[in-house]
């Protein structure tokens, strides 16, 4: 899009007011009067149900100067001196639109800003107040001018706002917005130019300060790496580093757990010792030491020692994991699950498989049955179809004394059926060496009656990880699924298309991936799948690589949505965020809802 769309002079007030009124009453957009970025913002604001008349932005207590505010301070002080005789307010916000600082020499304008809650501690994100120079610049990621009736909320119609995003000069991440606000009558073409040049000066100041902080953190990280026998992590607000020993010792799921636990120490100016229980069964001790650049906290370094459990780097070698028929995947996470299920089947010990919908629980059980069950008998009983006849069939399967019986989606059972099934399992407990029984269920939310009455009949529980926790397996999984879906035809996938698929969170897991590939295979039966062949849901996502911290946040949002079957209000409540915020997270992280 042409940059002028964002910064060009708005249309005369009366025509623009009429266009706004028309949109609010009928939804019609006058593209000849309303600039394209304002149209897009109005549509977003309307979907978020922002009040068109009244302002009620969220307020948050400020904890003190942020790194952005400290870096911006000398730049903003110089700008305030230059604008000392102008009726212009200088505003700095964080990346969520929360106002951090405000300076204004005009008492009359200050009173207007206070009345509009455009003051420190209040949020001017689009979901709070609709189209405005701060929130719309954050959404668009480019300098944006919003004047008069271009504001979605009528209470802001007397202002002209020029917002310029501030990006981290090293990582490129969005840090906040420098906004210049005046009354419409005092607005001029230089407002946008001044905001943009000031944001660039702040980025230069950030580069100077962050260079010193990151150098100090890197120095302490290298010093910690000199100690043999321990993994080392270093983290700050902008980066995470992990040495080779930690990467080799801990698989991706354990690394994510370590990173999540380290958040309890991040930002602390004092040494902290943490203990982390990892998904693999390891227990890790994490010794955190802060790192300083002069008197300023630069981040922290953590030395990681395994205290107990089986070390995933020295446990059973990959060679003991059998080749599982009908499955694909070589990651440590997936191999460990396959090995656990195979061991249970070989020993005849009944087990429970937990996990999100679509992760492959039934496929895994079917595979191990094919591998270890000479009779080949495999019966799946879906709890959604539970009835007296359903229980009779389970009794017949248990009395047969051979094969594999799977009770699928046990969390759906009602109290009476749970009690009856528990009695059946107890009655046939002495025949465990004959029929092998497995239960599948979701991890959360729990069914307390299943936990109390059914789980005691099973030796152990194995959690099957969601696809987003072992995306490296897609190198094997995608060709495997394409081969099954497109038998007889050679259909491959390009590296670019595969890389794009690996950027998605896959809320529906392997089953969602299978459906996507099926749709592609119905249109392209041979050749190579390119980016343009991917359906829209696979292309409408962020193209940048997420940081580890962002990945953790994305996973938390996905998990909440899975638990609540896509209900955004309930998921937002669980996460302690507003409905508008979870909508933004879903969009920012490219989360595709298919449940």
Cβ count within 10 A of residue 433: 9
pLDDT of residue 315: 42
Do 303 and 330 lie in a common domain?
A: no
Which range has the worst mean pLDDT, 335-339, 392-396, 574-578? 574-578
- Residues 46, 182 within the same domain: yes
User: What secondary structure does DSSP assign to 346-397, as a single string?
Assistant: HHT--EEEE--TTSSHHHHHHHHHHHH-TT--EEEEEGGG-SHHHHHHHHHH
- 348 pLDDT band, cuts 50/70/90, is confident
> Where is the domain boundary, 257, 283, 308?
308
Query: What is the distance between the alpha carbons of residues 556 and 559, in angstroms, rounded to a whole number?
Result: 5
User: Is residue 595 in some structural domain?
Assistant: no
Per-residue pLDDT tens digits for 362-390: 999 999 998 887 667 899 999 999 999 99
Same domain for 102 and 146 = yes
Query: Of 376, 371, 379, 418, which Cα lies nearest the Cα of 398?
Result: 379
Instruction: Give residue 429's pLDDT.
Output: 72
pLDDT at 344 over 70: yes
- Mean pLDDT value of segment 97-125: 95
Interior angle at CA 507, CA 501 and CA 508, nearest 5 = 90
Report yes or no: 154 and 187 within 8 Å, Cβ to Cβ. Answer: no
Three-state secondary structure readout of 169-208:
CCCCCEEEEEEEEEEHHHCCCHHHHHHHHHHHHHHHHHHH
Tell whether the model's pLDDT for residue 25 goes beyond 80.
yes
Q: What is the structure's pLDDT at 426?
A: 87
Last residue of a domain, one of 420, 438, 465: 465
Specify whether 366 is located in the same domain as 268: no
Q: Are residues 77 and 111 in the same domain?
A: yes
Does 179 score more than 80 pLDDT? yes
CATH number at residue 164: 3.30.450.40
Contact between residue 181 and residue 91 where contact means Cβ atoms under 8 Å apart: yes
Helix (H, G, I), strand (E, B) or coil at 342: helix
Return the percentage of the chain with pLDDT > 90, whole number.
39
Structure tokens at 94: 């964080």
- For the chain, give the mean pLDDT: 85
Where residue 538 falls among pLDDT bands split at 50, 70, 90? confident
Does 313 reside within a domain?
no
pLDDT band at 319 (very low <50, low <70, confident <90, very high): very low
Same domain, 35 and 177: yes
Residue 543 confidence (pLDDT): 43
Burial of 84 (0-12, 13-18, 19+ CB in 10 A): exposed
CATH number of the domain that 361 lies in? Answer: 3.40.50.300
Q: Give me the mean pLDDT over the 123-143 stretch.
A: 94
Name the residue with higher pLDDT: 448 or 319. 448
Contacts of 595 (CB under 8 A, 6+ apart): 357, 507, 508, 561, 562, 565, 566
Q: In terms of DSSP bridges, do strands 89-94 and 174-183 run parallel, antiparallel, or are they unpaired?
A: antiparallel
- Determine, yes or no, domain membership for 11: yes
Q: For residue 1, is pLDDT > 60? A: no
Range from 396-410, 471-485, 529-543, 571-585 carrying the lowest mean pLDDT: 529-543
Percent of the chain with pLDDT over 70: 89
DSSP string, 485-516: HTTTS-EEE-HHHHHHHTTS--TTHHHHHHHH
Residue 219 counted as domain residue:
no
Position 211 confidence tier, pLDDT thresholds 50, 70, 90: confident
Structure confidence at residue 545 as a pLDDT band (50, 70, 90)? low
In this prediction, residue 594 has a pLDDT band, given cuts at 50, 70 and 90, of low
Half-sphere exposure of residue 280, counting CA atoms within 13 Å on the CB side? 30
Per-residue pLDDT at 127 exceeds 60: yes
- The DSSP output letter for 301 is E
**Interval 511-518 mean pLDDT:** 92
**Least confident segment among 393-407, 454-468, 483-497, 535-549:** 535-549
Residues 110 and 175 in one domain: yes
Q: What is the CATH number of the domain that holds 268?
A: 3.30.450.20
One domain, residues 140 and 198: yes
Which residues form the domain of 298? Answer: 227-308
Query: In terms of domains, do 461 and 474 share one?
Result: no
Which one of 465, 480, 496 terminates a domain?
A: 465
pLDDT band at 284 (very low <50, low <70, confident <90, very high): confident
Residue 215 lies in a domain: no
- Quick count: other Cβ atoms within 10 Å of Cβ 252? 18
pLDDT score of 405 more than 70:
yes
User: Hey, is 117 helix, strand or coil?
Assistant: coil
In a domain, 220, yes or no: no
Instruction: Say yes or no: 560 and 525 in one domain.
Output: no
In angstroms, rounded to a whole number, what is the distance separating the alpha carbons of residues 63 and 83? 28
Asked if pLDDT for residue 138 goes beyond 90, the answer is yes
Residue 577 lies in a domain: yes
What pLDDT sits at residue 135?
95
In a domain, 295, yes or no: yes
Residue 314 confidence class, pLDDT cut points 50, 70, 90: very low
pLDDT at 311: 43
pLDDT at 477: 93
Judgement on whether residues 249 and 280 belong to the same structural domain of the protein? yes
In the prediction, which pLDDT does 454 show? 92
- In this prediction, residue 548 carries a pLDDT of 56
412-436 pLDDT, tens digit each: 999 999 999 999 988 877 655 578 9
Which CATH number do you get for residue 561?
Answer: 1.10.10
Is the model's pLDDT at 247 over the cut of 90?
no
Strand partners, 101: 92
Chain centroid offset of residue 113 CA:
35
Domain count, the chain: 5
């Amino acid at each position: 899009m042409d940059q002028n769309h964002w910064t060009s002079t708005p249309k005369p007030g009366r025509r623009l007011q009429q266009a706004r009124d028309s949109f609010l009453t009928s939804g019609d957009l006058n593209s000849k009067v309303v600039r394209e970025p304002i149209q897009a913002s109005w549509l977003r604001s309307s979907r978020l149900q922002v009040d068109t008349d009244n302002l009620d932005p969220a307020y948050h207590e400020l904890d003190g100067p942020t790194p952005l505010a400290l870096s911006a301070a000398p730049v903003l002080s110089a700008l305030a001196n230059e604008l000392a005789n102008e009726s212009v307010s200088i505003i700095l916000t964080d990346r969520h639109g929360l106002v951090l600082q405000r300076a204004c020499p005009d008492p009359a304008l200050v009173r207007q800003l206070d009345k509009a809650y455009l003051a420190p501690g209040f949020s001017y994100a689009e979901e709070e107040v609709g189209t405005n120079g701060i929130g719309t610049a954050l959404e668009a990621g480019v300098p944006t001018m919003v004047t008069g009736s271009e504001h979605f909320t009528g209470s802001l119609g007397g202002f002209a706002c020029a917002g310029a995003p501030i990006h981290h000069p090293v990582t490129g991440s969005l840090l906040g917005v420098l906004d210049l606000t005046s009354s419409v009558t005092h607005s001029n073409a230089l407002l946008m130019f001044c905001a943009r040049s000031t944001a660039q000066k702040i980025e230069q100041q950030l580069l100077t300060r962050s260079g010193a902080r990151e150098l100090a953190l890197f120095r302490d990280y290298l010093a910690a790496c000199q100690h043999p026998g321990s993994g080392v992590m270093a983290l700050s607000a902008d980066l995470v580093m992990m040495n080779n020993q930690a990467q080799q010792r801990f698989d991706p799921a354990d690394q994510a757990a370590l990173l999540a636990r380290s958040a309890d120490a991040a930002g602390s100016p004092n040494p902290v010792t943490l203990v982390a229980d990892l998904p693999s069964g390891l227990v890790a001790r994490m010794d955190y030491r802060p790192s300083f650049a002069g008197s300023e906290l630069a981040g922290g370094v953590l030395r990681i020692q395994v205290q107990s459990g089986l070390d995933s780097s020295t446990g059973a070698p990959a060679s003991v994991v059998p080749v599982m028929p009908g499955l694909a995947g070589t990651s440590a996470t997936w191999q460990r699950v396959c090995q656990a299920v195979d061991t249970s089947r070989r020993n005849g010990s009944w087990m429970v498989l937990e996990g999100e919908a679509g992760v492959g629980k039934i496929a895994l059980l079917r595979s191990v049955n094919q591998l270890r069950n000479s009779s080949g008998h495999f019966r799946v009983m879906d709890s959604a179809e539970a009835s007296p006849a359903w229980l009779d069939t389970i009794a017949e399967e248990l009395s047969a004394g051979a094969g594999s019986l799977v009770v699928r989606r046990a969390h759906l059972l009602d109290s009476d059926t749970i009690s009856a099934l528990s009695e059946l399992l107890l009655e046939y407990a002495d025949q465990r060496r004959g029929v092998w029984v497995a239960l599948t269920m979701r991890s959360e939310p729990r069914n307390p009656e299943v936990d109390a009455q059914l789980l005691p009949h099973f030796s152990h529980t194995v959690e099957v990880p969601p696809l987003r926790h072992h995306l490296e397996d897609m190198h094997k999984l995608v060709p495997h699924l394409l081969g099954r879906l497109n038998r007889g035809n050679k259909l491959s996938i390009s590296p670019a298309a595969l890389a794009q698929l690996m950027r998605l969170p896959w809320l529906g897991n392997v089953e969602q991936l299978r459906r996507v590939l099926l749709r592609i295979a119905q249109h392209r039966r041979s050749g190579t799948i390119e980016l343009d062949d991917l359906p829209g849901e696979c292309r409408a996502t962020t193209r940048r690589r997420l940081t580890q911290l962002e990945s953790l946040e994305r996973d938390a949002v996905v998990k909440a949505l899975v638990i609540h079957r896509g209900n955004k209000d309930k998921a937002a409540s669980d996460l302690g965020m507003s409905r508008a915020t979870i909508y933004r997270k879903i969009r920012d992280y490219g989360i595709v809802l298919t449940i």
